[in-house]
Structure 1
Amino acid sequence: MPKHTVQIERIIEQVDIKGQYIQLAAPIQLSGQLNIVELMAQYLVNEASEQAAIQIGVDEAGRGPLLGSVNVAAAILPAAWAGLIEDEPLKNTPLSILTDSKQLSEKKRDLLYPLVQQHAVAHIVADIPPAVIDQVNILQATMLGMRLCTEVLLQIVAKYLDEEQKTLFEILIDGNRCPDVDYASLATVGIDKSAIDCQAWVKGDARHTSIAAASILAKVSRDKTMYALDAEHPEYGIAKHKGYPTRAHMEAIAAHGVLAAHRRSFAPVRKVLER
């Protein structure tokens, strides 16, 4: 019998982009968990003629700030909890207040964060550091994070799939485009491209429960890194502005300089460095 859960820990130092290996300017760290028992109970042990597709919601937090990582998360919820928020699949569940993280107070997000981790069938968070953002630009860094979260989660899940039972996956991305998933690498673990349906949903974190769950993981995990930075550099007021280009943040940069955690490719930071 497999153990109840699998901890996911990956450090990515180079990536294959369309057949070309790119050495990253700094490692990308991914961490999460898969509940094997729940995966099998919810999705893989099913004698019904139609098996539920596994929905993987993916979202990011921190594209706009001048400081710190961009965090990307992916989540798989129990089958009965996965679906459109408007259909209320989360009614009378521990995640009943879950919606787009931006619509929730920080107190509610902090309340939901451990509940999502506890009740999700699987979840993963990628931390894409400022050096990688500066290396490839914020859009590509975010898409890379979405790609890595998707691929790593699929690779882990693939170990427990029934080879005779074709499992379908719906990758639900918050935004207007899907990442360039490395389908060739997924084929080596038994997941064919035809089994994956990637869908981009504008404001998807307010539409799909699994994207909303990912938005909580991404947002709260990023906030935690901001509070840690604030403790190291209290003079920057990071706990208040979370790295966004507020007046107080710009005044702190002018007074105290640019931190290693600042994104040097972002215009306000670049202009300070050029002076």
Structure 2
Amino acid sequence: MNTMLQTENHVLEIERSIEQIDIKGQYINLASPIHVSGQLNITELLAQYSEDIAKSHTGLTFQIGVDEAGRGPLLGSVNVAAALLPRAWTGLIEEQPLKDTPLSILTDSKQLSEKKRDILYPLVQQYAIGYVIADIPAAVIDQVNILQATMLGMRLCTEVLLESIAYHLSDMMKNAHQLAIEVLFDGNRCPELNYSSLARLGIKETMIDCQAWVKGDARHTSIAAASILAKVSRDKTMYALDAEHPEYGIAKHKGYPTRAHMEAIDKYGVLAAHRRSFAPVRKALESEC
């Protein structure tokens, strides 16, 4: 299912439920659907990048930051987000491109209090030119392992955002001297994008510069913005699970293997949302047999 709805204020709402994925030419049925959502501010996209294209001697360049949250927990999804900030707000955090902006306190989400993250979350959504959030459920983590699930989320966020951008800049891109896309991934590796699919949208592999940045969420504003989206969106899923299963204390431990969490598993058993491929959960299931 793929839904894109352009509203009156020229904001594209992105909603997808992905049940199959093409990996190196082979379609894989996912154990559970991956939900992808986001927005693209078409008005701002055209306003900020049309000037570049109008100048024949310059190309179209933009930077997307990508980050994840929730690789370590025993419970729930891993959330991944991609963010495209306004041009003037994009750059190294130390150079203070966010000074005197609504996102002035933005940095690595792990360095911010939950209160500040919750303040920033709607602001990033409001002021980003575009963003995408992917929720990779526990069943998919168990199916492909946590590393590959994270890479898959990073890939999907990047491709969905690029697809939306390419569609609305297609006419401009034909006239651009060149197109350069920087995709900055937090961590020490980049996912393998589906370049053949992107090429059909007019985005060639040579146009994309994928970069891996260790602790990139503390270096680049775009990655920091993605880290806020990923972290807070995951926390929201944890609070929803906590409301369904208050005896597990999920609101406090967010699914991480704390003593309280392990004691709850011992006492109440394993939930459907637990990651069965993770050793503590697997051992708990074996002890039930």
Report the TM range for the smaller structure's normalisation: over 0.9
The answer for the alignment partner of 2:235 in structure 1 is: 223
Q: What's the secondary structure of 2:184's corresponding residue? A: strand
Partner SS, residue 179 of structure 2: coil
1:97 to 91, 101, 105: 105
In the superposition, the TM-score normalised over structure 1's length comes to 0.98
Q: 1:60 maps to what in 2?
A: 68
Query: Aligned residue for 1:10?
Result: 16
SS of the aligned residue for 1:113 comes to: helix
Structure 1 CA distance for aligned equivalents of residues 224 and 264 of structure 2: 33
Cα RMSD of the aligned pairs, angstroms, is 1.2
Q: Give the secondary-structure state (helix, strand or coil) at the position aligned to 1:168.
A: strand
Contact 1:5 1:37 survives alignment (8 Å): yes
- Taking the aligned partners of 1:250 and 1:2, their CA distance within structure 2 comes to 46
Aligned with residue 162 of structure 2, among 138, 154, 173: 154
Tell me the residue number matched to 1:270: 282
Pairwise CA distance, 1:54: 1.0
Deviation at 1:44, TM superposition (A): 3.0
CA distances 1:147-186 after superposition (whole Å, capped 9, x unpaired) = 0000011011001221211321100000011100000000
Which residue of 1 is the match for residue 153 of structure 2?
Answer: 145
Structure-1 residue corresponding to 2:3: none
Question: Aligned equivalents of 1:50 and 1:164: distance in 2?
Answer: 11
Taking the aligned partners of 1:195 and 1:128, their CA distance within structure 2 comes to: 28
What pairs up with 1:180-259 in 2 under 5 angstroms? 180-259=192-271
- 1:60-99 deviation line (CA, Å, top 9, x unaligned): 0000000000000000000000010011000000000000
Q: What's the CA shift for 1:51?
A: 4.0
Offset at residue 2 of structure 1 (A): 8.7
Shift of 1:45: 3.0
Aligned partners of 1:104, 1:44: CA distance in 2, in Å? Answer: 35
Calculate the TM-score normalised by the size of structure 2.
0.93
Provide the identity percentage.
75
Partner of 1:22: 28
Q: Which residue of 2 aligns with 1:115?
A: 123
Task: Tell me how far 1:32 sits from its aligned partner.
Answer: 0.3
Q: Is the contact made by 1:230 and 1:237 (CA closer than 8 Å) also made in structure 2?
A: yes
Deviation at 1:43, TM superposition (A): 1.9
The corresponding residue for 1:37 is: 43
Return the alpha-carbon distance in structure 1 between the equivalents of residues 98 and 22 of structure 2: 38
What SS class does the counterpart of residue 17 from structure 2 fall into? strand
Question: Structure 2: how far apart are the matches of 1:44 and 1:202?
Answer: 33
Q: Distance in 2 between matches of 1:224 and 1:132?
A: 19
Deviation at 1:272, TM superposition (A): 0.4
* Matched residue SS, 2:48: helix
How many Å apart are 1:251 and its aligned residue? 0.2
| Structure 1 Cα separation of the partners of residues 77 and 183 of structure 2 | 23
User: 1:52 deviation in Å?
Assistant: 5.5
* Partners of 2:185 and 2:40 in 1: CA distance: 20
Residue aligned with 2:125, SS? helix
Whole-Å separation in 2 of the counterparts to 1:2 and 1:255: 49
Residue 164, structure 1, aligned to residue 172, structure 2: no
Unaligned runs of 5+ in 1: none
Distance 1:45 1:2 in 2: 24
Q: Which amino acid aligns with 1:201?
A: W
Distance 2:80 2:168 in 1: 24
Q: Does 1:72 align with 2:80?
A: yes
CA distance in 2, matches of 1:247, 1:19: 43
User: 2-side partners of 1:59 and 1:271: how far apart?
Assistant: 30
Secondary structure of residue in 2 paired with 1:273:
helix
Tell me if the contact between 1:52 and 1:79 (Cα under 8 Å) persists in the aligned partners.
no
